[in-house]
């Protein structure tokens, strides 16, 4: 076979590959360690190739080693709790600088266009922006995570618009809250959230591991989420690989049809992670049921809770006792006759103050236009006014930002009513 025939055959054989990727949406996670690996240039070229072939690519980058190095160089020690960074006032500026540096490096790599390089004469547009809103992680196990955040909202319509013009969308592990504060995000979580929010066809995570392994430590090119989850706790892998795999499982369960693990130490591994294999539900052809609350306009109301006919004690003895004895303090959000949320008001005798407590909405019915947390808070406020209370306070570990958006302000312990005026809350 001549060289020309070989070339023609190779080119023809690429047709199925091209048609399998055109107009498909891929979210790709590139962790900070991959950014400093010698293969990063070829990884960027492979991503550019996917984009040129018509794939819609969102690239989420990490910066963990770069942030750790910046913190150490400043004479501080990187702090983690349960493998999640704690970002304090001193470190958030270092995080922002390290993330900006990594992003600039990636943008630069997409501009490499010298003769004899794959990107010669090819223009790849890489676009970033304020596409992710964040909220604080808050206090977990008694540890305040300060400027470490979770994804709050992915502005998926804007991402879609950028993908429609053929750009690669580059997302950094930073998000901003509605109060304008920056929060450091976990890139693994961000990639999974983006893939779920934009309805990606694939989530591809680069990692030091190059393939899935099952609970007997056998390498697997294809695996289902249950099998992968079973092997996670005991697997001899780094905590970051464990986190990457756990997020792939989460994305898969939330309806991302295929999730791939790609080793950054293997040159060209991205292109080999073809349309076969990966993490997926056995026999799962479609997405899971849509979020039930988004678009419905059903009958909702917020009312005082009824006395329970019977309390399910499996919910916990303390909670059952509280519901039985304090049900008159509770208000519920109801949708089509189903209780989907609750909130309680505890007046503090003789102080003019009351505590708003136990606010929770069923996760399947959040952000509903008619029955929602904000409306429950308004209901509690009007009840507080009816009782002649002048001050409403609450204690929260993870919803400070949310309550600020409802008009609450930060307070100190000294602002709380004196303990002797307090009603005795059961343990
Ligand atoms: C807080 C809560 C009651 C609000 O319920 P809801 O009115 O149905 O609203 P959603 O959960 O859809 O959230 C609405 C918005 O607030 C954001 N949000 C939710 N919880 C948040 C939190 N803890 N911090 C900051 N933002 C939050 C959502 O991301 C969403 O953002 P978006 O509008 O930008 O998309 C509900 O999220 C919940 O039950 N959370 C768990 C329990 C809890 O934290 N209770 C507070 C007691 S201290």
Residues 81-96: tens digit of each pLDDT: 999 999 999 999 999 9
Specify whether the CB–CB gap between 30 and 106 falls below 8 A: yes
In whole angstroms, give the CA distance from residue 62 to residue 74. 20
User: For the chain, which residues make up each domain, given as ranges?
Assistant: 16-279, 301-421
* pLDDT at residue 417, as a whole number: 83
Has residue 37 got a pLDDT over 60? yes
Task: Please give the average per-residue pLDDT across 238-247, as a whole number.
Answer: 95
Fold of the domain spanning 16-279: Carbamate kinase (3.40.1160)
Q: How far is CA 247 from CA 75, 88, 186, 244, 256, in A?
A: 32, 25, 11, 5, 11
Angstrom distances, CA of residue 421 to CA of 325, 328, 329, 348, 358: 20, 20, 18, 6, 21
Q: Point out the ligand 1 atom lying closest to the alpha carbon of residue 367.
A: 12
Q: Which two tokens stand for residue 228?
A: 């992968």
Answer yes or no: is the C-beta of 398 below 6 A from any ligand 1 atom. Answer: yes
What's the 64 CA to ligand 1 centre distance in angstroms? Answer: 28
Res 140: pLDDT: 94
Confidence grade of residue 308 (pLDDT, cut at 50, 70, 90)? low
Average pLDDT over residues 126-148: 95
Q: Over range 52-72, report the average pLDDT.
A: 96
Q: Whose CA is nearest to atom 12 of ligand 1?
A: 367
pLDDT at 103 over 50: yes
Q: What's residue 371's pLDDT?
A: 86
pLDDT of the residue at 296: 42
Show Cβ contacts of residue 141 under 8 Å, excluding neighbours closer than 6 positions. Answer: 81, 82
Asked whether the predicted pLDDT for residue 309 surpasses 60, the reply is no
Between vectors from CA 194 to CA 61 and to CA 205, what angle results, nearest 5°?
Answer: 50
* Residue bearing the CA closest to ligand 1, atom 46: 359
Domain 301-421 listed as CATH 3.40.630.30: yes
Instruction: Give the span between the Cα atoms of 54 and 25, in whole angstroms.
Output: 9
CB atoms within 10 A of CB 81: 15
Spacing, Cα 402 to ligand 1 middle (Å) = 6
**Ligand 1 site-directed mutation target among 131, 149, 361, most atoms within 8 Å of CB:** 361
90 CB under 6 A from ligand 1? no
Task: Specify the pLDDT at position 277.
Answer: 64
Quickly tell me which residue has 């943008």 as its tokens: 107
301-421 matches 16-279 in CATH topology = no
**Residue-wise burial string across 406-425, b where 16 or more C-beta atoms lie within 10 A, e elsewhere:** eebeeeeeeebbeeeebeee
CA of 421 to the centre of ligand 1 (A): 31
pLDDT of res. 287: 43
pLDDT tier at 1 (50, 70, 90 boundaries)?
low
* Number of the ligand 1 atom closest to the C-alpha atom of 400: 24
Cβ burial of 327 (10 Å; 0-12, 13-18, 19+) is middle
Q: Which residue has the higher pLDDT, 419 or 36?
A: 36
Q: Average pLDDT for residues 250-254, to the nearest whole number?
A: 95
Q: Given the DSSP bridges, would you call strands 353-361 and 338-348 parallel, antiparallel or unpaired?
A: antiparallel
Confidence of residue 33 (pLDDT cuts 50, 70, 90): very high
- Ligand 1 pocket residue status of 362, Cβ below 6 Å: no
Report the DSSP beta bridge partners of residue 333.
302, 341
pLDDT score at 336:
82
Tokens encoding 399: 């919803």
Residue 315's pLDDT is 56
254: CA distance to ligand 1 center in Å?
A: 19
The verdict on the CB of residue 401 being under 6 Å from ligand 1 is: yes
User: What is the SS3 string spanning the chain?
Assistant: CCHHHHHHHHHHHCHHHHHHHCCCEEEEEECHHHHCCCCHHHHHHHHHHHHHCCCEEEEEECCHHHHHHHHHHCCCCCCEECCEECECHHHHHHHHHHHHHHHHHHHHHCCCCCCCCCCCCCCCCEECCCCEEEEECCEECCEECECEEEEEEECHHHHHHHHHCCCEEEECCEEECCCCCEEECCHHHHHHHHHHHHCCCEEEEEECCCCEECCCCCEECEECHHHHHHHCCCCCCCHHHHHHHHHHHHHHHCCCCEEEEEECCCCCHHHHCCCCCEECCCCCCCCCCCCCCCCCCCCEEEEECCCCCCCCHHHCHHHHHHHHHHHHHEEEEEECCEEEEEEEEEEECCCCEEEEEEEEECHHHCCCCCCCHHHHHHHHHHHHHHCCCCEEECCCCCCHHHHHHCCCCCCCHHHCCCHHHCCCCCC
Predicted confidence (pLDDT) per residue in 337-373, tens digit: 888 989 999 998 888 999 999 999 998 887 778 889 9
pLDDT, tens digit, 9 for 90 and up, residues 260-291: 999 999 988 888 775 556 787 655 443 433 34
Distance CA 311, CA 317 (A): 10
Closest-CA residue to 59 (of 17, 101, 93, 102): 102
152 lines ligand 1 (CB under 6 A): yes
Q: Give the mean pLDDT of the chain.
A: 86
Please give the pLDDT value at position 143: 94
Q: Higher model confidence: residue 160 or residue 178? A: 160
Is the Cβ atom of 351 under 6 angstroms away from ligand 1?
Answer: no
What is the mean predicted confidence (pLDDT) over 189-193? Answer: 98
At 350 the pLDDT is 86
What is the C-alpha to C-alpha distance for residues 110 and 99, in angstroms, rounded to an integer? 17
Taking residue 382's Cβ as centre, other Cβ atoms within 10 Å add up to: 11
């Amino acid at each position: 076979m001549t060289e020309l025939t070989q070339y023609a055959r190779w080119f023809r054989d690429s047709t199925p590959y091209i048609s399998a990727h055109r107009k498909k949406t891929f979210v790709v996670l590139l962790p900070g360690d991959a950014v400093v690996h010698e293969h990063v240039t070829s990884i960027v070229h492979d991503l550019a190739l996917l984009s040129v072939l018509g794939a819609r690519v969102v690239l989420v980058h990490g910066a963990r080693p770069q942030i750790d190095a910046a913190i150490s160089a400043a004479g501080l020690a990187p702090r983690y709790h349960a493998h999640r960074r704690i970002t304090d006032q001193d470190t958030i500026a270092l995080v922002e600088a390290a993330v900006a540096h990594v992003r600039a490096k990636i943008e630069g790599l997409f501009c490499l266009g010298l003769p004899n390089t794959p990107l010669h004469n090819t223009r790849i547009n890489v676009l970033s922006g304020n596409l992710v809103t964040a909220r604080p992680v808050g206090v977990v196990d008694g540890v305040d995570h300060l400027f470490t955040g979770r994804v709050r909202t992915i502005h998926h319509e804007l991402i879609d618009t950028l993908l429609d013009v053929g750009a690669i969308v580059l997302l950094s592990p930073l998000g901003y809250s509605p109060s304008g504060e920056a929060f450091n995000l976990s890139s693994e979580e961000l990639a999974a959230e983006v893939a779920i929010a934009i309805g990606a066809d694939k989530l591809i995570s680069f990692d030091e591991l190059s393939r899935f392994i099952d609970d007997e430590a056998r390498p697997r090119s294809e695996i289902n989420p249950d099998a992968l989850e079973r092997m996670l706790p005991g697997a001899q892998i780094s905590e970051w690989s464990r986190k990457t795999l756990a997020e792939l499982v989460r994305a898969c369960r939330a309806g991302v049809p295929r999730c791939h693990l790609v080793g950054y130490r293997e040159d060209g591994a991205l292109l080999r992670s073809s349309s076969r294999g990966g993490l997926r539900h056995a026999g799962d052809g479609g997405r899971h049921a849509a979020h039930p609350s988004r678009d419905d306009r059903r009958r909702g109301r917020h009312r005082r809770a009824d006395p329970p006919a019977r309390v399910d004690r499996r919910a916990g003895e303390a909670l059952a006792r509280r519901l039985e004895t304090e049900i008159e303090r509770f208000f519920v959000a109801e949708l089509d006759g189903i209780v989907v949320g609750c909130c309680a008001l505890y007046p503090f005798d003789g102080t003019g103050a009351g505590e708003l407590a136990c606010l929770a909405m069923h996760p399947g019915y959040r952000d509903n236009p008619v029955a929602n947390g904000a409306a429950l808070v308004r209901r509690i406020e009007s009840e507080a006014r009816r009782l002649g209370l002048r001050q409403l306070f609450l204690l929260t570990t993870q919803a400070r930002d949310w309550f600020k958006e409802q008009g609450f302000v930060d307070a100190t312990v000294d602002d709380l009513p004196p303990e002797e005026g307090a009603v005795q809350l059961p343990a």
